Amino acid sequence: MATSVSFTIVDVFTPRAFGGNQLAVFHDAGKLARSRMQALAREMNFSESTFVIPPPTRADPVHVRIFTPRREIPMAGHPTVGTAWVLAQRGEARPGEIVLRLGIGDLPITIEGRARSPEFIWMKHKPAQFGARRADRDRIAAALGIGADDIRNDLPIETVSTGLPFLFVPLNSPDALARCVSNEAALRGLFDDPQAMLPVYMFACGPSRRSAVRARMFAPHTDGIVEDPATGSAAAPLGAYLLAHGVLPSAPRARCTIVQGVEMGRRSEITVEIARAPGAEPSIRIGGRCAIVGQGRMDLR
């Protein structure tokens, strides 16, 4: 049994250290038991940590397992982008398209840049799945510590997923977004079935289609994450939501920038791109830059 495991800390969706979303990437984790992975994720206490399992052959995808402090999840955006950045930095992934094997299956990743010097990472998402809508604006607003009139009435409160579902709550302004409060008990009370609880993702659109979208994500009730500074797994379904409801233009290719983490002092920027081909589902990908912060080893004895 391994007595130690090496890791890299990387800040994701930011070009500079100490911004964006923190991620611990544990290397050569194939011999670690699931319980040990969970313990390490809890010890790091980032919103997620990843565990890289080398493929049996060079032709096979690298297997990446993703853990929050409370549970293993099938996919997430910033852990996937950050892990790909670290693999490229270490020379374990070359520029161009690679495939990472996540809990939801194989996902294509595009690495822009030079060998051992990545510049931008794109992560393709599966087609968006739209779920239930909610009409209880008063209840949701109260749980977030804002007024019902802070929630837009021309857009739905809706569940959307490209692998991990979120409850999307459209707000009228960045000011309303800034006043939201992450309260575990209040957010837990939004869901009558404990097995159906979802992370809550609030967003406010800018005055024009070219403006950045401001966002926040609360998940203390599902994953022990009071607030997440960058949520790639929500950025892709948000792009699909904005397209479906006419906020993004219905063009062959549309892009938007999501700015998150401002209220936490960890500003992040996530680029969302949606391509449409006649008669086909929209193709969604998210992308961003990363910054390596440090490296180390964790003692397992």
Burial class (CB in 10 A: 0-12, 13-18, 19+), 100: buried
Q: What are the beta bridge partners of residue 102?
A: 105
Of 43, 48, 119, 281, which residue is the catalytic one?
48
Whether 189 and 143 have beta carbons less than 8 Å apart is answered as yes
pTM for the predicted model, two decimal places: 0.93
What tokens does 207 get? Answer: 């005055």
Cα(150)–Cα(200) distance, integer angstroms: 16
CATH class held by domain 4-126+289-299 = alpha beta
**CB proximity list for 148: less than 8 A, separation 6 or greater:** 137, 138, 141
Domain positions in the chain are 4-126+289-299, 129-281
4-126+289-299 and 129-281 share one CATH topology?
yes
Q: What string of pLDDT tens digits covers the 301 residues of the chain?
A: 668 999 999 999 999 999 999 999 999 999 999 999 999 999 999 999 999 999 988 889 999 999 999 999 999 999 999 999 999 999 999 999 999 999 999 999 999 999 999 999 999 999 999 999 999 999 999 999 999 999 999 999 999 999 999 999 999 999 999 999 999 999 999 999 999 999 999 999 988 777 799 999 999 999 999 999 999 999 999 999 999 999 998 888 999 999 999 999 999 999 999 998 887 888 999 999 999 999 999 998 7
Reply yes or no on whether 97 is catalytic.
Answer: no
Options 3.30.565.10, 3.10.310.10, 3.40.50.10310, 3.30.70.120; CATH for 129-281 is 3.10.310.10
What tokens does 151 get? Answer: 């929630």
